[in-house]
Each structure stands twice: as C-alpha cells, then as structure tokens.
Amino acid sequence: MFLFKPKKPEEPKKEETSKESIDLGIIMKMNQEFAVSLDLNDTLNTALKVIINRINAQAANIFLINEKEKKFECIASLNQDYLDEYKLDLKDGVMGKAIEKKKCIRVGDVRKDLREIAEFYFDLDNKTNFTTFSVLCSPLIAGNESIGVIHCLNKKTDDKLFQEEDRQLLETLSAPAAFAIRNAKMAKDMIEKNKIQKEVEIVGDIQKSLLSQNKKDPFPIAGINIPAKVVSGDFYNFSDLGDGKYGFGVADVSGKGIKSSLLMSKASSLYRCLSKTNFSAADLLVQLNNEICETISRGMFVTMLVGVYDSNKKEMLLSSAGHEPPIIFSKDGSFTNYTESGPPLGIMPKTKYIEHTISFVDSSMYIFTDGITEIKNPDGKMLESEGFQNYIKKYQDTPNNERLKTIIDDILKSGHIQKDDLTIVVVDGK
C-alpha cells in the first residue's frame, strides 16, 4: 500500500511577498503623510517624491484639469524643467487617452509608438531640454471624478523603458495620491474663498462708511441702504451746506457684484470730493460724467440724481442723470413725480445736464433706486411706484430717521423678496 503525502501549499516567492509588502508600506506612508498636510504644494511634492522613487523614474509631473479652460495644466514637476504655463487639450496625447480610458497608459518607447503620441513628447522635450524614451501616465481619479494625471518619464535602467509591472504599480499608487490632491485642492479653494469673502466684507464696510449718517429730527434729510449682498451698487450722501441749504445725491450702478460695487466706490468718492467745491447740480453731473467716462468698462453706467434743498426759499434745485423719477408727496395727500432727466453717467463724455428749480413746501421727496419699485412678491408681481406710495402714506408721520427703515421692514415682512439693493433718501420740506 502506498501512502501519498499531501502536497504542501506553495509558499509565495520571497521576491513577490517583499514587493507587495513594500507597496502596501508605501501606500500607508503616503496616506499618513497626506493626512498631516492639506497644503496643495506640499501634497504635490510629497506625491511626486514617493512615486518617482518607487517607480524608479527619471522625472515626473502632475497635470491637473483646468475646468474653466478645459485643458491639462502642469502644476508640479520633479527632475525636469518646470513646465510653467504649459497647457494641453484634454483629448491630446497619452494624457488624454489615460483620462478617456480611466487607466494607466504605458508608452514603452515613444519612438515606436503612435505618431501623435511621439510628437507630443518631442514637443515636451523641446520645451524642457529633456529626452523622453518611455512614459507612464496614470489618471488621478477621486471618487468618479478625474482631476488630472501623474506622468512619469524614463525608467532608471539601461534601456530607460518602463515595463508592465511599472504600469500596474503606478496605477495603484495614483489612487491615494488623487484623493490627497483633491482634498488639498478643496482646502486651498476654501481658503481662497474665505480670503475673498473677507476682502469683500472689508469693501462692504468701507462702502457703509461712505454713506451719510442719519441725524435726529428736525434734520430734513434721511437715507437708508440695504445691500442685496455684502457689497452694494447703490450710494447716497447728504450734507448741511449752511445758510439753510442742504445738498444730496443718490446713485445706482448698472449690474451687480464686485465690479459694480467698485465703480460705485469710485463714483461716491468723486461725488464727495467735487460736491465740496461745486454745488451747481448740473455742473456737478457734468464733472462726474467726464471723470467716469474715462475709466468705465464697456456696458456699464451710473444713474444719479443730485439736488439742493433751500429751506429759506422753500425751493428744490434738481438735476438727474437717468435716475428713477423721485416721488413727491404733498400735504394734501397727492403724489407727483420729477421726470426731467439727462442720460446716465459714463455713456457719453461732455454731456450737458439741465437743472430745474421747483417749489417745495409742506412736502416730502423720496429719491430711490429701482430695487424698491422692482421688488417682487411671491407671485412675481413687482411693487412698482403705486405700491411704494401706499407705504409712504402709511408711515409719513413717522420721524424721517425711523421712517425709511420702517417702510423697508414692512415691505419685506409683507412677503416681497429682495434680490437687489434697496436705497431710499427722503427730503422733508416744512
């Protein structure tokens, strides 16, 4: 009787076991190092150093996808002249193929590979004083999102050619690198966003400081500005000119956002400066228009109304540059509008503006921006001038330094949704 001993399971080769252990160790090391820093540059440099050493490559680059331009953009390089501002279409070269197929691509010898791939590397070599023989290119995939590629050049062997096992290894190492780079990029974007937000808040604070502060009754003028966002494209100013005269100006810049707010800051600064030496309403608009026309961006403009209230003569001097017609509420309960106007500021240089003098006694003039009359209720219906007049009647007996806030609070409480800056200035004539 023959007894057969069962064969012992074959032990893995020491070389294979050793490689797997090394690779797992590297991945763990990468994850540990990546977890320490969310700095994008540190993460990129760490990824390149770890990968280039393990792959035994001569050089390596990381290209991230520029979503805005739809191009690959080199943002990190090791052992090769930095490819500053080098960009490539997303469909071009081996990088495009790696993204398309979502797997690591090996070009064993660029001189024997497809012509378009070889040409890409010769172009790259010319820009970096480098000679490419072989390439590994692996997509950086975080979740289901391709964020870029890692790009290894020339194996440090006599023939300088990468093998299939190198391709598999880079594909494995690219996964933790992709997640780390994505997280670091998100952290950088968050920091930049917070920085920009802080700067916007500073601009908003500066803008608020340019607005005149309301005074206690019986000062005849009061104003309010409620920005739709942090910064505003609206502006107002008023001042005591002496001898019973009071000057004021209200303006609205076309468009929204930072660009509009910066133009408003310029316009308000010019107004404050020029109005100190010249308060002919028409001449003031002429000077403002000429200054703004010199630097304004195409398609932008400023509407503005300036005036002087003479409490002794019971007169109002007005000049308008395309601004919303102000509403005049008389003691008899009637409403009228001042409709005379020239073109907005910033459209045509050397424009002449006209000023008019109107009788102003026992009345209130409301100067406002279109955010007031164009504000909509949940049904999409705008407040319009008639609706605004109802709120004026309702709160006319309230002191002017409280009246405007009360009006806006009531408009918003009634369900109207603010999407634009809300600005009102009132001049009370006794």
Structure confidence at residue 84 (pLDDT): 66
DSSP string, 256-308: -SHHHHHHHHHHHHHHHHHTTT---HHHHHHHHHHHHHHHPPTT--EEEEEEE
Structure confidence at residue 16 (pLDDT): 46
Structure confidence at residue 1 (pLDDT): 46
Helix (H, G, I), strand (E, B) or coil at 389: helix
Give the pair of three-digit tokens for residue 229.
């966002």
Report domain extents, the chain.
22-185, 202-429
Whether 202-429 and 22-185 are alike in CATH topology: the answer is: no
| Calpha distance 161→110 (Å, rounded) | 10
Helix (H, G, I), strand (E, B) or coil at 345: strand
Structure confidence at residue 17 (pLDDT): 42
Structure confidence at residue 207 (pLDDT): 67
Structure confidence at residue 408 (pLDDT): 96
User: Could you report the average pLDDT of every consecutive run of 10 residues in the chain (430 residues)?
Assistant: 49 47 58 57 78 88 88 84 74 87 89 68 78 91 86 92 90 80 75 68 68 84 90 89 93 82 84 79 93 86 96 96 96 93 94 95 95 93 95 94 94 92 94
Q: What is the pTM of this model?
A: 0.59
Homologous superfamily (CATH) for 202-429: PPM-type phosphatase domain (3.60.40.10)
Q: Are 266 and 283 in contact (CB under 8 A)?
A: no
**What is the CATH topology of the domain spanning 22-185?**
Beta-Lactamase (3.30.450)
Structure confidence at residue 18 (pLDDT): 46
Structure confidence at residue 68 (pLDDT): 86
